[in-house]
Chain A
Amino acid sequence: MTTRFCLICTFLCGICSIGKGQIIAGDSLVASGQYVAARVEYERALFGSTEPDAVFAASVGKARCLKQQGLYAPAVTFLNGQLQSNLPDSLLYQLRYEQVLCAYLAGQFENTLSLVERLPYLHPDVPPVPMLLAVRVLALNELQRWPAADTAYHELAALVTANTLLPNPYRELPRLKSEKKAQWLSTFIPGAGQLYAGRPGEAALSILIQSAGLYFGIASYINSYYLSAWGIGAGLFGSFHAGGVRRAEVLVRQRNQQRANAFNAQLRQQVVELIK
């Protein structure tokens, strides 16, 4: 009887240690930078084991390998497949937490927000975590939803510090220019749209080329070269005028993106400081 018990225990111990052994092997491969081999070991553990702890450790291990390789979007997809209902709630939460981080790193900001906002409903007992609030603030910033980001930032500040006198970074939002206004300006005053976008050099060049076309057209017309006035003067002026309008719009868009990026970078720094 004792022998039989010992054998059963040994068998169960062997089976359980399959997953653990592969996770250990995966961890050592990660340490030596062999991420694909490590991913295989973690998958092996997932293939051979149904034990929640092993499944969780292998899932997190593989997700971290993918993150190390910069494969953030595949990590999101992989974790999506690992969110099985037979895992305990606490482990599911940690997998979802990892998935949020991967989604943010993958630049899937809408997805990040959606995943973060789902957490309170899926895990109502878990209190808000500073890191997830920070990710929410950063994702909202990237989507340029400043009022929502402001609210989220204050929630985060209230959670991590009792100091209510912290400077509000959203008091001075980046001043974004209007693409439509740039278009209108360039339509009626050549080069004005480029000037509005903060590119005086391009504005001067645009004025010069359009004026040259116009001058050639008028001079040709005065000298009775009507076809040249139409074909070259008007043609050059019209082409560069239409191009100038489109260019002004592009420049304003680039300028806005630069300002938003600079603001976001500064705010990212502040958010990181806040959750340290």
Chain B
Amino acid sequence: MTPFRFWLPVLLLCLVQPAYCQTSPSFGSEWSFARYLADKDAVDEAGFVLRHIDQKRLTTPQRDSLVYLRGWLAYGAKSLDSASQYLLRVSETSSFYVKSQYFGAYCLAFDHHRDSARAVMQYLPAPDSTLSELKAFQQAGLALLQRQYTRYDSLRQQFNYTSYALSAEETRLDAYRRGLSAEKRRSPVLAGMLSAVVPGLGKIYAGKPKQGIAAFLPVLTLGLLTWEGYRKDGPTSLRFLGFGSLFTVFYAGNIWGSAVSVKVRRDEFNRGYDNKILFDMHIPLRNLLNR
């Protein structure tokens, strides 16, 4: 009876102490807690918990789980550079490997690291037919982002247009392909020349009709004022010289602006298509892998 009386308080202390003090929580509990926080959108708190996990004592699967969650948090916070770095560090043996690779590659593509994304996408795991099609879809999307139409045409041969998660996006990607190849290549030199003939015409040619009209009116007004100064006060008058200088600046500026507006319009066009492609590349990733 005496030993029992002695050991009972010791046993009680052993049971209560770890629960109360929580001195060294296990990796599993901390990771589950961080995941719970991430699901609750408590990103700061989840990041805090993950940063305070001692990485030196972790096994490879634990390290994989840790970098996956850090990557996933960064992805949720739209820090795509960090997200891709973390996600692509997940090793092949991890259960998060497939998801991490696909999302990591997408983050690279979104972040304009298109060549790196292509290198990663070549080795994306595709254990079944759906993922195989998804891999082809992602590669095809990237090919469109890089405007490599021949590569896109060869990759789209793997589209089945039957999967619930991919068919709509595949059809849309084909439409983007047609839209991109139908783009009229406008020449900045021709835009400048048109604006030299009729101020603002180059901007209308570039696809900015309102800007063209807005550019035409001040140049026309200054031209008329210069002509009036010349006709009434002669070529040496201050009126003629003043308005003439202003007219020259506006006229030359309009020519330069028309040439630039071709590039601006082209960038807008490309950006619009890039956003649509990236959006459609993202939908099947979320539907198929974010479970």
Contacts and interface: CB of A to CB of B under 8 A. Distances in A.
Interface of A: 3, 6-7, 10-11, 13-15, 17-18, 21-22, 36-37, 39-40, 43-44, 47, 78, 81, 224-228, 231-232, 235
B20 A47 contact: no
A17 B225 contact: no
A131 B175 CA distance: 59
A11 B45 contact: no
A235 B19 contact: no
Contacts of A10: 12, 15-16
B29 to A, nearest CB: 9
B40 A231 contact: no
Interface in B48-66: 48-49
B90 to A, nearest CB: 24
A77 to B, nearest CB: 8
Contacts of A232: 225
A171 B85 CA distance: 64
Contacts of B20: 14, 17-18, 21
B36 to A, nearest CB: 5
A190 B37 CA distance: 61
Given A22-B22, A231-B221, A225 B44 contact: no
B16 A37 contact: no
Contacts of A7: 11, 15
B225 A36 contact: no
Contacts of B12: 6, 10
B33 interface: yes
A228 to B, nearest CB: 6
Q: Which of B4, B19, B33, B239 has the most CB of A within 10 A?
A: B19
A103 to B, nearest CB: 18
A81 B222 CA distance: 64
Contacts, number: 66
Given A10-B12, A13-B16, 10 more contacts: A11-B15, A14-B20, A18-B20, A21-B19, A21-B22, A47-B36, A78-B42, A226-B228, A228-B239, A231-B222
A145 B29 CA distance: 51
B78 interface: no
A43 B22 contact: no
Closest 8 CB pairs of A and B: A14-B19, A227-B228, A231-B221, A227-B224, A14-B16, A21-B20, A40-B45, A10-B12
Interface of B: 4, 8, 11-12, 15-16, 19-22, 33, 36-37, 40, 42, 44-45, 48-49, 221-222, 224-225, 227-228, 232, 239
Contacts of A21: 19-22
A165 B266 CA distance: 72
B19 A225 contact: no
A40 B20 CA distance: 16
17 contacts: A3-B4, A3-B8, A10-B12, A14-B19, A14-B20, A17-B20, A21-B21, A40-B45, A40-B48, A40-B49, A43-B37, A44-B22, A47-B33, A225-B232, A227-B228, A231-B221, A235-B221
B61 to A, nearest CB: 22
Contact of B48 (A18, A36, A231, A235): A36
Q: Which of B11, B36, B45 has the most CB of A within 10 A?
A: B45
A22 B33 CA distance: 14
A71 to B, nearest CB: 9
Contacts of B49: 40
A182 B118 CA distance: 61
A262 to B, nearest CB: 37
Contacts of B36: 47
Contacts of A11: 15
A17 B18 CA distance: 11
Contacts of A47: 33, 36-37
Given A21-B21, A44-B33, A14 B232 contact: no
Contacts of A15: 19
A180 B16 CA distance: 73
A229 to B, nearest CB: 10
